[in-house]
Structure 1
Amino acid sequence: MNSPQSQIKKVEEFLSTLRDFMKKRGYTEVVTPYLRTYPNLDDNIFPLSCEVERPFSGRETLYLHTSPEYAMKKLLALYGKDIFQICHVFRNLEGGKLNDVEFLMLEYYKVGKDYRYLMEELEELLKVIFGGEIEYNGKRIPTRIKKISLKEAYKKYLRLDLELLLSDTEAFKKQLGEKGINFSPEEDGETLFFRTYVELGKFLGFDQPTVVYSFPQPFGALAKCKNGWCERFELYIFGIEIANAYTEVADEEEIKGRLWEVAKKLNLPLDGEFIKSHRRLPKLYSGISIGLDRLLMLKLGLNSIFELYYRGL
């Protein structure tokens, strides 16, 4: 039963469980502003902006954060220990039963560990939230996570050669045609990657929660990369993307180079203080973001995040 009264209580218990889990593992809860002078920069995530007017200083453009990443990393540079935050984030051009412009996120950073540690910790979190099994729409799967490289997943589920996409776009298009996957002849490699990645997600997480790891460098975001592949993973449960994580790039010049290209492409300002904070950030650390509306949807057996009562207020 999901009456408003029972669901409100279940949401409260869910958030308490998350906080207890994080604090027992040594993470410090932090808060950061939602409104930022500079936007998060990502090729495929679009920030919302607003005009504000301050007494004596006039109008300025501010941005609602698409994730607390930049502010949390600035805090991490000062604090130097594991941190987490539960907050609302905002992304333009989002829609559907699993997406909205505003949603709830858990984000945390682990010092001294790479993304493999986060895979193990994520499995422990799923056990705490769901117990031994995840039950959804009449199906049950264990909380134990299955791991598969992105390259292997493309081959197994789509029968596509991911490396071919990176080396020969036209040959990859020929592969798509042979497999009956629709695309436009004008599409570039980036567009083709995201088109096929969406298709891949439809196969993941139906027998076990599934982590796909090791992303091609052009799609590594701010993940640490080596030999063209990045230490990034995403978690899927019943075909739904739940989490995104990586071993973080700690080098100031590398971060500057990556973000400068995105800022130019999107015509958005670059946060120089965020770049400088990498001088004080740990040499090794990892970070993860988890979509809590989707996780709650699974936990409560809902068909859409919009069945969460707090979304309709």
Structure 2
Amino acid sequence: MTDAPWWSPARHADRRPALMARNRIQAAIRGWLADEDFTEVDPAALQVSPGNETHLHAFGTDAIGNDGVAHRRYLHTSPEFAMKKLIAAGETRIAAFAHVWRNRERGVLHAPEFTMLEWYRAGAAYEVLFDDCAALLRIAATAAGTGTFRFRDATCDPFARPERLSVAEAFRRHAGIDLLATCDGSGGTDAAALAAQLDATGVARAADDTWSDMLARVLGEKVEPHLGHGRATILDRYPAPEAALARRATDDPRTAERFELYACGVELANGFGELTDPVEQRLRFTADMAEKHRRYGESYPLDEELLAALPLMPPTSGIALGFDRLVMLATAAPHIDLVLWAPPA
């Protein structure tokens, strides 16, 4: 990255080809969404709750009413809550190119403000999203005029059918760890058993690591570097304790209908067979916010309207894709700022 500001004429000239490719990719995706009968929506960014995942950090502000009273609000980390309310309201296929904000994130693959492509299919099994992902990889490559996705030294054929790999199999293959042996169908986990497997395979851990901490260590060190090389990888069936907003799998309650899409070792998307049980979702949100407060000394309110809307949702599948990262891979850009028209300060 040059030290010249992004708005200097010479640097802008260097960036412009990737930015024009970005526009073509976005236009092509919008065409595909229209062909698939999606309605594009535009959720407000200012929300009561920015999301309730432990490790997502939001930007907060005070909304001052006409009476001068301040009400805490947040820029959303995803349009998910608003879009689920639209599904509850009766929409069946919706999509959004949404600007989202995540604090404490800045780097090669992270910007504090970025664009997320999020879409929902009411009445569809979550496996349908696998085909959506494959289609979007092809569309992005065609619009960018490339046959190969690149990030650093990694390459991926965007036209090849993605590999589908369960998290359990990925842990066995790349780390020699039997992950599902350390969790049960009720959502319980055995941190000591997982710690023993990490010690046996040489993965460093902290003495106070939780089960989820250790999973994240293995995923980051041993698994993710192998994903999405040659062809994309759909990392499927996350363990139930990592389900987030996904429902449990009916054939194995130790796992959930949650997957992530990887290309060139880069995580591109996170998809769910959506949980619509408000009681279970409240329990998960509450536990995540308690853990957030323990770790970071802060937590966010729950979106009570979302919890009230969940029972009105039909069975639905939804997914969020990092649009800027998709453009990075299609243009071989080495840094996310190179594919943002005006990078955040």
Same fold (TM over 0.5): yes
- Percent identity (aligned): 28
- The residue that corresponds to 1:122 in the other structure is 133
2:332 corresponds, among 296, 301, 310, to 301
CA contact (8 A) 1:148 1:211 kept: yes
Alignment of 1:165-244 (within 5 A): 165-166=182-183, 167-199=189-221, 200-226=223-249, 227-244=253-270
- The residue that corresponds to 1:163 in the other structure is 180
CA contact (8 A) 1:97 1:304 kept: yes
1:41 corresponds, among 52, 76, 92, to 52
Q: CA shift at 1:309, angstroms?
A: 4.7
- The residue that corresponds to 2:21 in the other structure is 10
- The residue that corresponds to 2:4 in the other structure is none
- The residue that corresponds to 2:303 in the other structure is 271
Root-mean-square deviation (CA, aligned residues, Å) is: 2.0
- The residue that corresponds to 1:260 in the other structure is 286
- The residue that corresponds to 1:135 in the other structure is 149
- The residue that corresponds to 2:71 in the other structure is 60
Q: CA shift at 1:75, angstroms?
A: 1.2
Q: CA shift at 1:143, angstroms?
A: 3.2
Secondary structure at 2:99's aligned position in 1? strand
For structure 2, which runs of at least 5 residues remain unmatched after alignment? 1-11, 184-188, 293-298
Q: CA shift at 1:168, angstroms?
A: 3.3
1:112 corresponds, among 123, 146, 151, to 123
Distance (whole Å) between structure 1 residues aligned to residue 260 and residue 156 of structure 2? 21
For structure 1, which runs of at least 5 residues remain unmatched after alignment? none
Secondary structure at 2:100's aligned position in 1? strand
Distance (whole Å) between structure 1 residues aligned to residue 13 and residue 169 of structure 2? 40
1:288 corresponds, among 312, 319, 336, to 319
Distance (whole Å) between structure 1 residues aligned to residue 238 and residue 15 of structure 2? 41
Normalised by the size of structure 1, how large is the TM-score? 0.93
Q: Which moved more, 1:125-134 or 1:218-227?
A: 125-134
Distance (whole Å) between structure 2 residues aligned to residue 160 and residue 2 of structure 1? 48
Q: Residues 38, 147 of structure 1: CA spacing in aligned structure 2 closer, same or farther, 3 A cutoff?
A: same
CA contact (8 A) 1:134 1:143 kept: no
Q: Which moved more, 1:292-301 or 1:121-130?
A: 121-130
CA contact (8 A) 1:105 1:289 kept: yes
Q: CA shift at 1:255, angstroms?
A: 2.1
| Relative contact order higher in (CA < 8 Å, ≥ 6 apart) | 2
